[in-house]
Amino acid sequence: MVSSDPPVGKYRRIALYLAVLAVLVGLSVWFWRDFCLWRGTSALRQRKLAAAESWVARSQWFHEGDDPQACLLEIRIARRQQQFQLVESKLQLASKMGVPKSELRRERLLAMAQTGQFSAMQANWSDLLTDPRDDGPEIARAYYTWTMLNHNLELANKTLDLWQKDYPKDPEPHELRGRFNQSIYNWAEAESDYRRALALDPDNDDFRLALASVMLERLKTNDAVPLFKEYLSRHPDNLTAIRGLAQCAATAGDLDTAIELLRGAMENHPDDFNVQKSYGEVLLAANRASEAAAVLEKAYRSVPEHANLAYSLARSLKASGRGNEAEPLLAFVAESRAPLDQLTALERQLRSEPGNLELRMQIAAIVAKYISRQDAIRWYQNLLQISPDYPPAHRELVALYHQAGDLEKAQFHQRVLEGRGEAKEMGDQPISDPASPTTSDADRTP
């Protein structure tokens, strides 16, 4: 006879299994939020922002009501994504949820640093530098920008050295050092820096374009051409790359190819100043003076303060038999030579006297008169980052914005002068380049 368990025993085992399963499911649901937030935090540390967002969203599947921990994580993700309006709204929400005030203060400081609100950061850098956590690259980037804004080159280089030491796989400090070396015309070092950055991030086309541009400056056109072409294969309408490739062709004596490239760019972007200038100068080099004059005249109408452009236009007019029209341009070029020669010395002096506001005003005035009003605007904006209420800079910006036809910004600075506005212009962030705006030697000395 075959024995079998009584039916009651089977039911007990099934009930036990179901009870265990229910406990496991309950525990999973109970710890699901903590598990998801842990995974989200881990993804954020690894800078996998999309994954971090997904894990935060999953953490709320079985959770109702306020979640201060999730809200703080959302703030950090939004800040890393540079969505600063979202950061501000989340910070206001988090303060109502009971997120620790110390954490909210830290996030506000980090957001101010990342958005270039340096006047509010003066007494607070140490709080971030001594407690970087996993925000080290963001803090280093902001601190480096601040040191360069103040022309403290020694501290800027020390910042990059520590950044590279702490984050050896991060290409950005190499790229920033490359841009700095490029700004002081140290082309050999700039090439090395961009090569290192590209080696760490081979898919970064911005690094590729920067390296190609430096190669061109060093007359390594054979090396620059494939870099420009590879970049253009993914960004076919990029004017910087098109102009760079055209210049490579012109340097190699292939003016026909250079003209063809720039003619195409002109057809697609007829009002772009840099394309007009490059196209006109290549036509002039090809002895097509009348065509060059027509293009350069159009460029000169948009930037009449550009002394180098005035010189090219004067040459094209003289070669076209229009010497009388060239005379006032040549007089302007002659007038510009002494101030442009002085500009280099003033910038060198500024590196040892970064707080000298009068010196900054002198530089900006020369830039506005003989190089570019837009570059001058950036000089004045940078000055206001150091001294937000400095009236002479606001007065100059009123005039420059009126000349540019931007009445809204002109009125803003006029209100500041009259004491009816805040001394911070919305949308005017400090330039991201690691030095104040400068131009090439070719643009300075005709």
Tell me the DSSP string of 259-316: HHHHHHHHHH-TT-HHHHHHHHHHHHHTT-HHHHHHHHHHHHHH-TT-HHHHHHHHHH
Mean pLDDT calculated for residue range 218-222: 95
pLDDT tens per residue, range 305-317: 999 999 999 999 9
What pLDDT is stored for residue 362 in this prediction?
Answer: 96
What pLDDT is stored for residue 4 in this prediction?
Answer: 53
The answer on pLDDT for 186 being more than 50 is yes
What pLDDT is stored for residue 18 in this prediction?
Answer: 63
Indicate the residue type of 309: L
Mean pLDDT calculated for residue range 177-182: 90
The answer on pLDDT for 287 being more than 50 is yes
Q: Does residue 333 contact residue 310 with C-beta atoms inside 8 Å?
A: yes
Mean pLDDT calculated for residue range 6-22: 64
The tally of CA atoms less than 13 A away on the side-chain side of residue 32 is: 14
The C-alpha atoms of residue 352 and residue 178 are separated, in whole angstroms, by 21
Q: Among 24-28, 51-55, 147-151, 194-198, which is the least confidently predicted range? A: 24-28
What pLDDT is stored for residue 184 in this prediction?
Answer: 77
What pLDDT is stored for residue 425 in this prediction?
Answer: 47
pLDDT tens per residue, range 321-379: 999 999 999 999 999 999 999 998 998 888 778 778 999 999 999 999 999 999 999 99
What pLDDT is stored for residue 25 in this prediction?
Answer: 55
Burial class (CB in 10 A: 0-12, 13-18, 19+), 100: exposed
Mean pLDDT calculated for residue range 165-183: 93
The answer on pLDDT for 16 being more than 80 is no
| Between 386 and 266, the higher pLDDT residue | 266
The answer on pLDDT for 13 being more than 80 is no
Q: Among 12-16, 120-124, 298-302, 429-433, which is the least confidently predicted range? A: 429-433
What rounded mean pLDDT belongs to the chain? Answer: 87
Identify which of 402, 404, 409 has the alpha carbon closest to the alpha carbon of residue 424. Answer: 409
Length of the chain: 446
List of domains in the chain: 32-41+50-58+67-112 (no CATH), 136-303 (1.25.40.10), 336-446 (1.25.40.10)
Residue 45 binned pLDDT confidence (cut-offs 50, 70, 90): very high
pLDDT tens per residue, range 321-334: 999 999 999 999 99
CA-to-CA separations, 220 to 181, 207, 216, 241, 311, in angstroms, rounded: 17, 17, 6, 15, 27
Q: Does residue 256 contact residue 230 with C-beta atoms inside 8 Å?
A: no
Sign of CA dihedral 219, 343, 278, 309: negative
The answer on pLDDT for 437 being more than 50 is no
Mean pLDDT calculated for residue range 75-79: 95
- Determine which helix (DSSP H) or strand (DSSP E) holds 348, and give its type and residue range: helix 323-352
What pLDDT is stored for residue 341 in this prediction?
Answer: 93
What pLDDT is stored for residue 343 in this prediction?
Answer: 92
The answer on pLDDT for 432 being more than 50 is no
The answer on pLDDT for 37 being more than 60 is yes
Q: Does residue 113 contact residue 385 with C-beta atoms inside 8 Å?
A: no
Tokens of 201: 């991030």
The answer on pLDDT for 151 being more than 90 is no
pLDDT tens per residue, range 387-421: 888 999 999 999 999 999 999 999 999 999 988 65
The answer on pLDDT for 445 being more than 50 is no
Mean pLDDT calculated for residue range 161-178: 95
Total-model pTM: 0.78
